[in-house]
Structure 1
Amino acid sequence: MSINRECYTGRFIGGNILLYCPCCDKGVLGIIEDTFIHKSTKKSADDMEITGDVSCLDIKFFTFLECSNNRCKEIVVMGGIGKVEEEYESSEEQYMGTSCISSYEIKYIDPPINIIKISDEVPSCITDTIKDSFSLFWGYPSLVGNRIRTALELILNEKNVKSTGVNKNGKEYRMSLHERIKEFGKIKNGEYKELQKMLLGIKWLGNVATHGEEMKKEDLLNAYEVLDCILDEIFVRDKKLLGVKEMSHDLEKSFKLER
């Protein structure tokens, strides 16, 4: 499923949030009338009074959202920051004045939005870790990469990829994530070789995040899309394939007996 990136990386103006409900994944969230509260910090308001420059304003906002799905109607809490920009209005003939446009950036949502939809076939330990990363996406993007890295470790655990090796001196050691991903590429006669490359790409992002470096939301969304593909291939497609093989085997037994 392709992610609508504008919803996650841009600012919103007015009530145009365009995020899906975290509970039903069907309805669109909308601001509940009369719940949107926004205030400027005192210092920024004082600066604006002195300079007359509205771009000085440092705005904080808080609001309640409601799902548009009549069978759901879940309530979501959202908060964040805002700014004001002055726009000049003119026609071909004359200058018509200025208008102020307020835009807002989300820093907190509860319950967190499902950035990718995770199948019920995915083990709960992996699902919980990824959903934990969703709650951090808005305000703490650097921590998201760390959670995604943890999810990779859990995926390898579920596929029984070994976590220890033996060094040249014959001593057991704990394998790095990189080494484990390399081992993952060898299982099932190399069937996961392409997925191994995808896992390594996400691993590098996780490494950078673990060292506390700034993470761009665009890069995190790339990681989520790759992770979505990996989860589908390993836990959904594999199970479907197993079911199809079993049905094929049953058909073979039934019709061979008839002949």
Structure 2
Amino acid sequence: MERKPYSRYFTEDSTPAWKCPSCHSGLLKLSKENLLRRQTAASAAEQRQDFSEFEWIKTKVAAMFVCSHCGESVACAADGWVDEIYGDDEYGDIQRDWEDRFTPRYFAPPLVLMDIPEDCPEGVASHLQTSFSMYFCNPGASANAARIALEVLMDEWGVPKDDNGKTLTLHQRLQRLPPAYSGLEELLLAVKWLGNDGSHGGNLTKDDVNTLYDILEVALHEAYDKKKDTVLAKARAINQTRVKKP
């Protein structure tokens, strides 16, 4: 899944290509009439000083987006700031101006940040939704929630939690995958390591979480996406009809 749009800020006149979390088809459009912003106390105090600059302004923002396809409403909490921009005036001269820009911190419902197969167990998908909800404000917690999804996945696959009464770590469980999923061990171990970094206070970035999502996305599709098998069966059927008789 392409996640570059989710690393971008939005403005009153421009919204990145954020997909609707409900229908997954439409794009979110900012409802300007429902955009609220207020300066932080520190920013307001600075603006009362004679030496203050517009670029110092910091705001807290509440925004509402609407899906272009299904009409779903998506709430957003964001941090705002003012940036200097340049353009040409009507005479072709360079003109200086300022623009309000907003960095999202939270969406409700959360945006969907990886492709989850339809047959993925509900418990796994639920923890991934929790991961998505914290992606913008706390990447470490987001990675940790994905790690919990991995624990649930082990339960779904019947991987034991203990051995003769001794609790198995997630790492040990991943080394005991059923034969049908044994080829996914390397991928899932990488997800575990990144999730560990999140749970142990590592300074994970959104790029780190993107990597985790990329790896887990491939693993889940290998496990649950039946499209490959369906297409392969069709290909075999075509080939069989073309086989030359001796």
> Of residues 181, 188, 193 in structure 2, which corresponds to 1:199?
188
Give 2:134's aligned residue: 136
For residues 178-220 of structure 1, what are the alpha-carbon distances to aligned partners after superposition, in whole Å with 9 as ceiling and x for unaligned?
Answer: 1111122x624xx633x21111111111111111222201111
- Pair 18,241 (structure 1): closer, same or farther in 2 beyond 3 Å: closer
> Alpha-carbon deviation of 1:25?
0.4
Give 2:219's aligned residue: 230
What secondary structure, in the 3-state scheme, does the structure 1 residue paired with 2:79 have?
strand
Where in structure 2 are the equivalents of 1:1-259 lying within 5 Å?
2-5=1-4, 7-14=5-12, 15-50=14-49, 51-69=51-69, 72-87=70-85, 96=94, 98-166=96-164, 172-184=165-177, 187-188=179-180, 192-193=182-183, 195-237=184-226, 241=229
Give TM-score scaled by structure 2 length.
0.84
**Paired letter, 1:218:** D
Contact 1:13 1:104 in 2 (8 A): yes
Contact 2:47 2:53 in 1 (8 A): yes
Contact 2:82 2:100 in 1 (8 A): yes
> Alpha-carbon deviation of 1:242?
9.4
Distance in 2, Cα, partners of 1:130 & 1:148: 6
Name the larger-Rg structure. 1
Contact 1:20 1:26 in 2 (8 A): yes
For residues 224-258 of structure 1, what are the alpha-carbon distances to aligned partners after superposition, in whole Å with 9 as ceiling and x for unaligned?
Answer: 12111111111223x9749988xx9xxxxxxxxxx
Identical columns (%): 25
What secondary structure, in the 3-state scheme, does the structure 2 residue paired with 1:66 have?
strand
Distance in 1, Cα, partners of 2:77 & 2:220: 31
**Structure 1 unaligned spans of 5+:** 167-171, 249-259
Contact 2:8 2:16 in 1 (8 A): no
Distance in 1, Cα, partners of 2:111 & 2:94: 41
For residues 32-71 of structure 1, what are the alpha-carbon distances to aligned partners after superposition, in whole Å with 9 as ceiling and x for unaligned?
Answer: 13111222113212213312222221111111111101xx
For residues 101-149 of structure 1, what are the alpha-carbon distances to aligned partners after superposition, in whole Å with 9 as ceiling and x for unaligned?
Answer: 2221001111111112322211111111111211111222221111111
Dislocated runs of 4+, deviation >3 Å: 87-91, 94-97, 239-245
For residues 1-30 of structure 1, what are the alpha-carbon distances to aligned partners after superposition, in whole Å with 9 as ceiling and x for unaligned?
Answer: x2232x222222333232111110001010
For residues 50-101 of structure 1, what are the alpha-carbon distances to aligned partners after superposition, in whole Å with 9 as ceiling and x for unaligned?
Answer: 12222221111111111101xx21111111101112246689xx98453212
- Pair 150,242 (structure 1): closer, same or farther in 2 beyond 3 Å: farther
**Paired letter, 1:28:** L
What secondary structure, in the 3-state scheme, does the structure 1 residue paired with 2:123 have?
helix
Count of residue correspondences: 230
**Structure 2 unaligned spans of 5+:** 237-246
What secondary structure, in the 3-state scheme, does the structure 1 residue paired with 2:159 have?
coil
What secondary structure, in the 3-state scheme, does the structure 1 residue paired with 2:113 have?
coil
Contact 2:131 2:142 in 1 (8 A): yes
- Pair 86,22 (structure 1): closer, same or farther in 2 beyond 3 Å: same
